[in-house]
Copies of this chain bind each other. A is one copy, B any other.
Amino acid sequence: MSTASSIRETRTVVCVDPHSEPLSQKNIHNRWHPDIPPVASVAEGEVFKVECCDFTGNHIVNDDVADDVLEWDWHRDHHLSGPIQVENAQPGDALAIDILDVQPFPNRLWGFSLIDPGLGALDQPHTRVAKTIWDFDGVMTSSRHIKGVSFCGRPHCGVIGTAPSQKLLQTWVSREDALNDRYRIHGVECAQMPAERGAYVGQDLPDDVLSRIKTNGARTKPAREHGGNIDSASLTRGSRIYLPVFVPGAILSVGDLHFSEGDGEPTCAIEMAGIATLRCKVIRNGVAKLGLRAPMVVSSPAEPLYRDQLVFHGLSVDRNGVQQRSDLTTGFVEAASNAMEYLEKFGYSHEQAYSLMATAPTEARVLAVPNIPNANVSLGLPTKIFDFDILPTEDGPQASDRGSVAYLTPDREKRFLAERKIGESPFKRPQ
C-alpha cells in the first residue's frame, strides 16, 4: 500500500555474477590504469550499490579439499568491480566515501580463507596448503574446518581506490621497479610489476587501449596513496574513507570483499563475493586542504567491539633466535606466531591457528618503535570468540579435537612438495 513518490531507490550501479566465470564479465578489471573507462556514473550524495566477485573471481569452491588453491593464478588478483565515475570530482579533490554497508550475496552465504605457503606472513617450513570455508549466519560466522570458534564479522572492502593519473601510475612503476632493482641481487621479487599475464578488463575497448592497460596497468596487490588494497577491518560499515582524486570523475574501483579479517591479514581474510553500499561526497581541493598523502578514515560506531583480549607480544628476535634490527614486521610475525603456538596447545593445528590469525577479529598494535633493537608488536586475541576459556590457568591449556582444515588431496600434496621452490617468500621483510 505504500504509494509515496518520495521513496529513495538504491541503484545497483555495477552488477556481477558471483557464480560464473569472471573473464566474460563486463564490469570487472584487475589492474589500475587511467584508461579504463567507467562502467557507471553516480551523483554526489547518491546511495548506490556495487556488486563484487570474491578476489579470485569465483575460483575457489566450497568443499573440503584445497586443490583449487594451487590452481589459482595469483597474477589474476584482484577481480575489482567498476570503475565508477563520480560526477563533479576533479583532480586535486578529496572523495569522502561513506561505507554504508558491505554484505555477502544473499544466495552465497559463505567465504573462504587460503593458505598458500610462500605467500603469507607466518609461513613455516612445514606449513601446508590449506583452505577453510566460513559460513555466514547473519552477522556471525563460523567454519566447519575450525571447531569452537565463532565471531561477528567486520565486513569491508579490502580494495577501494581511485584511478591513478598517468603520471602517478608512472611514479608507482618507477619506484617499485627501483625497489626490485635494489634487491635483484638477492633474487627476491619485492614488488609485482605490470604483467600481461592474468590481466583482464571486461570491456570492449580498442586493441591499443586494452593492450596499454594490460601491459602497463599497476598491480592491485599493495595499497598505495589512492587507496587500493588497504585491507583494514576498521573500514567496516558505518565508517568513512577520504581518498585523493587524480583523474576527472575520480574513477572508483571496489572489490576484494572480506567478511572478517584479523589485523595484519597474514594470509587470506574471509574472502567473499558481495555487495557494497556506498555514498560519495566531493571536497573541493581536498588533497591540499587535508594534506591527503594516504587514505584517511573516520571510524565506525558500528565496528564490533571485543573488549576482552589475551595479548601476545613479538620482539625483533626471529624464531631462529636471530636478533633482527628493530623491526615491526618481525614483531608482528613473532606476536602472531606466539599466539598460534598458544592456540595449538588447545588442539588446533598449525593451519587452523594460521587461518584464525587472518580471519578472527584480532587487534595488532604497534608498541615502542625506538626501543632498539626490539620494536615490539602486540596481538590481542578476543577471548569471547572461543566456546571455551582460553585464558591461562594453573593447569595450562588442554588439547581437544578441533576438526581439520581442508588440505590438498594426497597425490596433489606429494606433487606440491616435490615441486615447491625453496626460497624466501616475496613478501618477507628485508634482512
Contact = CB atoms under 8 A, between A and B. Distances in A.
A197 interface: no
B371 A222 contact: yes
Interface stretch (A33-41, A81-89, A285-293, A409-417): A285-293
Contact of A140 (B176, B222, B238, B371): B238
A63 interface: yes
Contacts of A229: 368, 371
A165 to B, nearest CB: 16
A69 to B, nearest CB: 14
Nearest to A389: B389
Contacts of A332: 328, 366, 369
Interface in A333-363: 333-335, 338, 341-342, 345, 363
Nearest to A361: B301
27 contacts: A1-B20, A2-B19, A3-B61, A5-B63, A96-B392, A119-B370, A138-B238, A178-B322, A179-B323, A179-B324, A179-B373, A234-B378, A266-B369, A286-B392, A286-B396, A290-B392, A294-B334, A294-B335, A297-B378, A301-B384, A305-B307, A307-B308, A325-B429, A329-B369, A365-B365, A372-B426, A430-B431
Contact of A98 (B140, B296, B375): B140
A371 B231 contact: yes
Interface in A154-168: none
A288 to B, nearest CB: 8
A368 B231 contact: yes
A368 B175 contact: no
Interface string A263-303: 11111000000000101000110101111011111111110
Given A1-B20, A94-B392, A264-B369, A304 B301 contact: yes
B376 A230 contact: yes
Interface residues of A, number: 151
Given A100-B140, A234-B311, A365-B366, A62 B7 contact: yes
A10 to B, nearest CB: 6
Given A100-B138, A329-B326, A392-B242, A2 B62 contact: yes
Given A6-B64, A7-B110, A312 B294 contact: yes
A397 B192 CA distance: 37
